[in-house]
Amino acid sequence: MTIAEPGLTNEQQPPAREKSGSRAKRILEWFWRGAELREKKRSLPEPTRRQAVLAQRAQSSLDLALNTAELARSADADKSSFTNPEQASCLEEASANEFYRQSCYWSLSALQAQSDEHAGTSYSEAVWDMLDERLLESAAQGERTELLRTALRSGSFVYFAELPASERVAITRELRKLAESLLFKVGERTRVVQGVLLQRAFRLSLLFLMVLLVGAGLVWERKTREERSDLARGAPWRASSKWEDAGCSSPDQQCDNSPAMFFHTKEEKDPWVEFDLGALRQVATVQVDNRVDCCMDRTIPLIVEVSDNHKRWRQVARRDTEFKTWRATFSPTSARWVRLRINRESLLHLARVRIFAPQH
């Protein structure tokens, strides 16, 4: 017995909520196409080894028919005393027609081989009985349908060669269309399965692109958020000394005449660079990009110090090993000035300094 909501009949009951698990499975299936692929493979049995061989024979015959014209043009007709342009055209068309006919025969044999293990082992007139009338009628309309059927059953090189020129041209066009249609049908399973696999690849590519775009968006958003929250951006700075004309002018940290570093001190004891944040600010992270074109070892040991009165300094971080980028994170502290100092005699030069408040 089902207990319904009071006052509602079974027909009036609200539909059950769709389980999130089944929704997720449907989304996964939309991308992966696993059930669709299994269904296509089940409805279209995998070709047998003999089918594959016969299909290759059909394709080879079609290729020979298509290449006959080129082969005929490359032949040295002058060496034959009975060949003239009209006879050469007849030879070309009759040869092509015979190859088209063979392609049709081997395609039908390949289709028959799914249920007949003896298909293709010897010539059989019964193969032509398998021809789908719709394919025949799409290749030749009206009264030409019977002419095409006769050409398939009775055709030979001599048969095609003795046809009137206009008839040979027409039958060539019809045989080619039929041969291509039959090969298309023979390759139906491969084509359908590949279609599902291509659909899977396309949808997974879309998913990958979406993930890539989302990831790139998150990275860009984080980067721009950090850029906006960088307390050192636009903050005036000064160094303990200046090496000739090296470096930028405060508050710039990037300039064309000094791409490797924005300042360069002389060799001295405890060289430093300091930033004035303009007012007391909460500081929790300092990120330092070292000069990378040379001399990275000069920058150690590097100490980060803060001050609220420009007299007393408190150490909040220290780096004793060589680095390209050092992101020093420490307990939030109130400061107006932030200083980076080498605790020995050396030269100090950095590519960039960023200062961040605590993240909430």
Per-residue pLDDT tens digits for 288-333 = 999 989 999 999 999 999 999 999 999 999 999 999 999 999 999 9
> In sequence order, what are the beta bridge partners of 287?
327, 354
Do both 182 and 250 map to the same domain?
no
Do both 242 and 330 map to the same domain?
yes
**Pairing verdict, β 345-346 and 302-307:** unpaired
- Report pTM: 0.54
User: Residue 49 domain-assigned?
Assistant: yes
User: Residue 196 domain-assigned?
Assistant: no
Do both 179 and 50 map to the same domain?
yes
User: Residue 280 domain-assigned?
Assistant: yes
Contacts of 85 (CB under 8 A, 6+ apart): none
Residues of the chain with pLDDT under 70: 1-21, 69-84, 360
CB atoms within 10 A of CB 250: 16
Do both 257 and 173 map to the same domain?
no
Domain end among 190, 217, 247: 190
The whole-number pLDDT of residue 4 equals 45
User: Residue 88 domain-assigned?
Assistant: yes
At 249-275, the pLDDT tens digits run: 999 999 998 999 999 999 999 999 999
Distance CA 329, CA 314 (A): 15
Structural domain harbouring 348: 237-356
Do both 131 and 258 map to the same domain?
no
The whole-number pLDDT of residue 79 equals 46
Domain end among 125, 156, 190: 190
Do both 63 and 177 map to the same domain?
yes
User: Residue 23 domain-assigned?
Assistant: no
Residue (of 258, 261, 252) closest to 234 by Cα position: 252
User: Residue 171 domain-assigned?
Assistant: yes
The whole-number pLDDT of residue 68 equals 82
Do both 175 and 54 map to the same domain?
yes
Q: Which two tokens stand for residue 249?
A: 């002018």
Number of domains in the chain: 2
Do both 241 and 186 map to the same domain?
no
Do both 138 and 269 map to the same domain?
no
What's the one-letter identity of residue 347? L
Tokens 């290449």, located at residue: 67
Q: 215 φ, ψ to 5°?
A: -60, -45
Rg (CA), the chain: 41
Report the residue count for the chain. Answer: 360
The whole-number pLDDT of residue 17 equals 56
Q: How many helices (H) and strands (E) does the chain have?
A: 9, 8
Domain end among 156, 190, 224: 190
Do both 49 and 180 map to the same domain?
yes
CA distances from 70 to 73, 75, 165 (A): 5, 9, 19
The whole-number pLDDT of residue 98 equals 94
Distance CA 347, CA 9 (A): 87
CATH number at residue 304: 2.60.120.260
User: Residue 20 domain-assigned?
Assistant: no
**Among the residues of the chain, which ranges form H helices?**
20-32, 34-43, 49-74, 85-112, 133-139, 144-154, 157-161, 165-186, 188-229
User: Residue 228 domain-assigned?
Assistant: no
**Pairing verdict, β 350-356 and 272-290:** antiparallel
Do both 50 and 135 map to the same domain?
yes
What's the one-letter identity of residue 89? S
Do both 94 and 154 map to the same domain?
yes
